[in-house]
Structure 1
Amino acid sequence: METALADIPRASELDNTLAFLWEAYTFISRRCDRLGSELFRMRIMLTPVVCMRGAAAAQFFYEDDRFTR
């Protein structure tokens, strides 16, 4: 999943904290559908975040020991 950060669509709101808390599990899917993308940028508590969904996103998280549990 090689994409430049500038090429990733951005949610239009300044901060998405309340919407994220309100919509819970449907938040990411709704925004992906609205933006026509499997990933997008947003802010939670004014901190930049990238949200992803789909098989490529799952593969990204589980390959090459990117994260530890």
Structure 2
Amino acid sequence: MASRVALKAGKGKNVKKSAAAGEDEGSVAVAAKFVKEWSTWTMKKAKVITHYGFIPLVIIIGMNSDPKPSLSQLLSPV
């Protein structure tokens, strides 16, 4: 029974020490969560922009190339 009391006292001391350090760890955890959410949001937006913007980008680059093809020449498979 005495060993249980000693273990509880040991946990209490460790909790107090980690609580003081936990303030720094908590702010780091919040910052990490913010960066993770922001990067996920950014990647989702980049995926949509890439999906809908790739073909128009290819057409614009093709229209500005040196031989100056017409739009029908760019879009035809031949």
Structure with larger RCO (C-alpha < 8 A, sep 6+): 1
Q: Larger % of helix: which?
A: 2
Q: Larger % of strand: which?
A: 1
| Same fold, TM-score > 0.5, yes or no | no
Bin for the TM-score computed over the shorter chain: under 0.3
State the TM-score, normalizing by the size of structure 1.
Answer: 0.22
| The structure with more radius of gyration | 2
